């Protein structure tokens, strides 16, 4: 989950370029950061514990001129966040240096073998075995040494390295971890996310499947995992530079909350037919006959994507009457699943690089399931390996706590539901009504954002509390899970989600006047039931915040505070209810003074399993 940035070209300010690149990648990890540049045959390296800003602050106004450098921002896996464990890492002769994202699973065995050869290690990391192993194999041919070393490594990783004896080249390797090469005019950029070099070039090549690239300022030589030369075709990034800036907002998260009317509209664009009352999902590449044959659906996801998947499962079973199994990818990948004929898998990942989801997807594919990916990043591993992909079109999501990606995922799952339902159980009129509800969402989202001041006032009132229960029934239960996750992620408070009916089976023992209940009350089927649940909690002095639809008069005598949202069909209510939950978490975190965009111990893209 670390961030890599590299540069080779004619410009002498390589150090500034790579550190500026890291600033756009520090959401991938911010335990430590470092860079190394090659200048007049010598490595110049600086490492700092903490965020990239700490590294940037250490830069001199008179930077050593260099036209080749690599840099790294770390999310610690093996070894504590210290300067010694920070990247870049070197071989014991200090002749070559490496930055690395991923995990080397057999690092202990490699370290032990190299130590027996007299090689001395300086860090606790798995990463250090990479330069040490390449250095051990190096006999003058750097590419050959890299190919031999990579063949010994187990795990998922992306690597960029340079060698003193090869001052005009960088070598990159990517195996199941993202790595993009940006092609400029007599210069090349390397990054974990392509948007990090967007201000310099939009022409990009992606490495994957153990591919190796030798990069010079004007050429790229690529090889597959068997060292056979291959041709890599470039593509153009379809991203505006403005989309990766905060604009006038103080945090990316707040900007992305306010982008949701547009991101929801983008997800819907050209994907439905008013006339026929159905979804148009040409990206699936499946005929009506193939879709009709689907008898079972498995949905995979982690974190926020898992919560979206749960809601997708509810929708599909409710409307299309197809059995759905929703699984946490990190657990499912270690199962031995039974895959029946005509099983469809839907794998959800904002980045398209979530290691556990990709591993689970591969397990299903090997067992014969057809895979649909739902992701936000073209060129990602998920997009490449799925049989077909539906893209969120949400634009870059930089804040670690997902907001607009979640609501866009729900839109795509609703459209998939509509497509299947119209083939099975849903009439044309019902389909048109469903589409009408979908198309009203952007305006309804704006109306919620127009009342952000009220949400902030309520959040400030409860920001000092340490214990929260998020409750819901039916469609509101996964929504409660997502709301609790947001508060945990960025405000660092104990927030637990439960089905409201389960409180009396144990958790109600924790309710007192120091416990805040956030109740999602917008499911029409279970609305009377959750009123009873809240009365029980009020009788035990719990303080209640209700998120409820217009006209919920009964709640005014029960709840301490109420956030009103527009009415819609039950299947789409989670999308509207998520908005105040996101903003509530943001405002609580802001009041508590936490790092909202870069919460402790977390990173945006979980590319290690």
Active-site option among 202, 255, 370, 604: 604
Q: Which residues contact 317 (CB under 8 A, 6 or more apart)?
A: 323, 324
**Structural domain includes residue 601:** no
- Say whether pLDDT at 607 is over 90: no
Lowest mean pLDDT among 37-41, 57-61, 206-210: 57-61
Q: Would you state the pLDDT for residue 338?
A: 82
Q: What is the mean pLDDT of the chain?
A: 92
Q: What is the pLDDT of residues 67-119, one digit of tens each?
A: 999 999 987 788 888 999 999 999 999 999 999 998 899 999 999 999 999 99
Per the structure, the count of domains in the chain is 3
pTM of the model: 0.84
Where is the domain boundary, 424, 449, 474? 449
Q: What is the pLDDT of residues 190-200, one digit of tens each?
A: 999 888 998 99
Q: What Å distances lie between residue 255 and 51, 251, 326, 350, 434, CA to CA? A: 21, 6, 30, 17, 29
Residue 235 and residue 220 share a domain: yes
- Name which residue leads in pLDDT, 52 or 589: 589
Active-site option among 2, 172, 375, 587: 2
Q: Would you state the pLDDT for residue 560?
A: 95
Nearest to 153 by CA among 131, 179, 176, 130: 130
Residue 66 and residue 202 share a domain: yes
Residue 161 and residue 310 share a domain: no
Euclidean distance between CA atoms 495 and 86, whole angstroms: 33
- Say whether pLDDT at 6 is over 60: yes
Residue 364 and residue 404 share a domain: yes
Euclidean distance between CA atoms 517 and 541, whole angstroms: 10
User: Binning pLDDT at 50, 70 and 90, where does residue 50 land?
Assistant: confident
What percent of the chain lies above the pLDDT cut of 90?
77
**Structural domain includes residue 132:** yes
Euclidean distance between CA atoms 600 and 314, whole angstroms: 33
- Say whether pLDDT at 598 is over 70: yes
Concerning whether 16 is annotated as a catalytic residue, the answer is no
Residue with structure tokens 């010694």?
Answer: 84
Lowest mean pLDDT among 103-112, 176-185, 250-259, 335-344: 335-344
Nearest to 402 by CA among 476, 485, 312: 485
Residue 288 and residue 230 share a domain: no
What angle is formed at CA 434 by the lines to CA 480 and CA 437, rounded to 5 degrees?
65
Residue 190 and residue 291 share a domain: no
Residue 193 and residue 76 share a domain: yes
**Structural domain includes residue 600:** no
Euclidean distance between CA atoms 268 and 112, whole angstroms: 54
**Structural domain includes residue 307:** yes
User: Binning pLDDT at 50, 70 and 90, where does residue 61 land?
Assistant: low
Overall residue count recorded for the chain in this entry: 609
**Structural domain includes residue 37:** yes
What angle is formed at CA 447 by the lines to CA 272 and CA 525, rounded to 5 degrees?
70
Euclidean distance between CA atoms 4 and 9, whole angstroms: 17
- Say whether pLDDT at 32 is over 70: yes
User: Binning pLDDT at 50, 70 and 90, where does residue 214 land?
Assistant: very high
Residue 230 and residue 319 share a domain: no
Nearest to 78 by CA among 52, 55, 96, 105: 105
DSSP state of 476: H
- Say whether pLDDT at 606 is over 70: no
Residue 467 and residue 443 share a domain: no
Q: What is the CATH number of the domain that holds 481?
A: 3.40.50.10490
Q: What is the CA radius of gyration of the chain?
A: 25
Half-sphere exposure of 553 (CA within 13 A, CB side): 1
Concerning whether 604 is annotated as a catalytic residue, the answer is yes
**Structural domain includes residue 541:** yes
User: Binning pLDDT at 50, 70 and 90, where does residue 608 land?
Assistant: low
Q: What is the pLDDT of residues 384-430, one digit of tens each?
A: 899 999 999 999 898 999 999 999 999 999 999 999 999 999 999 99
- Name which residue leads in pLDDT, 333 or 561: 561
**Structural domain includes residue 376:** yes
Half-sphere exposure of 110 (CA within 13 A, CB side): 25
Euclidean distance between CA atoms 342 and 368, whole angstroms: 9
Secondary structure class of 137 (helix, strand, coil): helix
Q: What is the CATH number of the domain that holds 60?
A: 3.60.20.10
Residue 481 and residue 389 share a domain: no
Q: What is the pLDDT of residues 151-193, one digit of tens each?
A: 999 988 999 999 999 999 999 999 888 899 999 999 999 999 8
Where is the domain boundary, 240, 261, 287? 240
Secondary structure class of 333 (helix, strand, coil): coil
Euclidean distance between CA atoms 206 and 600, whole angstroms: 30
Where is the domain boundary, 434, 449, 464? 449
Residue 570 and residue 503 share a domain: yes
- Say whether pLDDT at 609 is over 60: no
Q: Token pair for residue 286?
A: 């499946």
Tell me the residue ranges of DSSP E strands in 164-280: 166-175, 179-183, 187-191, 203-207, 211-215, 220-223, 229-230, 235-236, 272-273, 278-279
Residue 356 and residue 329 share a domain: yes
Secondary structure class of 300 (helix, strand, coil): strand
Domain that holds residue 493: 452-592
Q: Would you state the pLDDT for residue 195?
A: 86
């Amino acid at each position: 989950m670390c961030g890599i940035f590299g540069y080779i070209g004619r410009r002498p300010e390589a150090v500034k370029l790579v550190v500026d690149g890291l600033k756009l990648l520090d959401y991938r990890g911010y335990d430590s950061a470092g860079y190394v540049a090659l200048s007049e045959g010598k490595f110049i390296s600086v490492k700092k514990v903490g965020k990239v800003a700490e590294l940037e602050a250490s830069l001199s106004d008179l930077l050593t001129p260099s036209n080749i450098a690599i840099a790294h921002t770390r999310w610690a896996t093996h070894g504590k966040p210290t300067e010694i464990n920070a990247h870049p890492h070197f071989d014991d002769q200090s002749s070559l240096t490496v930055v690395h994202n991923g995990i080397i699973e057999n690092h202990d065995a490699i370290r032990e073998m190299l130590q027996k050869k007299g090689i001395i290690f300086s860090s606790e990391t798995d990463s250090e075995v990479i330069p040490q192993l390449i250095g051990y194999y190096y006999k003058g041919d750097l590419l050959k040494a890299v190919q031999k070393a990579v063949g010994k490594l187990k795990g998922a990783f992306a690597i960029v390295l340079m060698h003193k004896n090869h001052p005009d080249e960088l070598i990159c390797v990517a195996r199941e971890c993202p790595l993009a090469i940006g092609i400029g005019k007599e210069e090349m950029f390397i990054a974990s996310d392509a948007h990090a070099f967007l201000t310099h070039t939009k022409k990009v090549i992606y490495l994957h499947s153990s591919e190796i690239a030798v990069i010079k300022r004007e050429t790229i030589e690529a090889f597959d995992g068997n060292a056979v030369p291959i041709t890599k075709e470039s593509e153009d990034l379809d991203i505006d530079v403005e989309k990766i800036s905060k604009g006038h907002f103080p945090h990316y998260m707040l900007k992305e909350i306010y982008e949701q009317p547009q991101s929801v509209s983008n997800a819907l664009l050209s994907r439905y037919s008013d006339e026929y009352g159905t979804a148009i999902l040409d990206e699936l590449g499946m005929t009506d006959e193939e879709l009709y044959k689907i008898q079972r659906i498995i949905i995979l996801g982690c974190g926020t994507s898992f919560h979206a998947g749960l809601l997708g499962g509810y929708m599909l079973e409710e409307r299309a009457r197809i059995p759905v199994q929703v699984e946490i990818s990190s657990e499912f990948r270690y199962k031995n699943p039974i895959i029946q004929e005509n099983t469809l898998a839907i794998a959800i990942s904002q980045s398209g690089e979530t290691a556990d989801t990709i591993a689970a997807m591969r397990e299903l594919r090997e067992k014969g399931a057809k895979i649909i990916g739902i992701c936000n990043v073209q060129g990602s591993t998920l997009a490449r390996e799925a049989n077909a992909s539906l893209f969120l079109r949400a634009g870059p999501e930089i804040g670690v706590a997902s907001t607009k990606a979640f609501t866009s995922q729900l839109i795509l799952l609703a459209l998939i539901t509509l497509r299947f339902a119209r083939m099975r159980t849903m009439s044309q009129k019902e389909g048109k009504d469903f589409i009408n509800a979908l198309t009203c969402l952007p305006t309804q989202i704006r109306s919620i954002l127009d009342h952000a001041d009220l949400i902030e006032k309520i959040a400030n009132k409860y920001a000092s509390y340490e214990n929260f229960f998020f409750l819901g029934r039916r469609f509101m239960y996964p929504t409660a899970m997502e709301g609790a996750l947001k508060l945990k992620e960025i405000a660092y408070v104990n927030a637990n989600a439960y089905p409201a009916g389960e409180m009396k089976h144990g958790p109600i023992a924790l309710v007192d006047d120091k416990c805040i209940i956030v109740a999602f009350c917008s499911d029409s089927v279970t609305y009377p039931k959750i009123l009873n649940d809240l009365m029980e909690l009020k009788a035990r002095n719990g303080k209640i915040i209700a998120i409820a639809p217009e006209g919920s008069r009964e709640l005014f005598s029960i709840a301490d505070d109420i956030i009103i949202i527009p009415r819609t069909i039950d299947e789409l209510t989670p999308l509207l209810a998520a908005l105040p939950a996101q903003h509530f978490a943001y405002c609580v975190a802001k009041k508590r003074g936490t790092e909202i965009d870069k919460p402790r111990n977390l990173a945006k893209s979980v590319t290690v399993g």
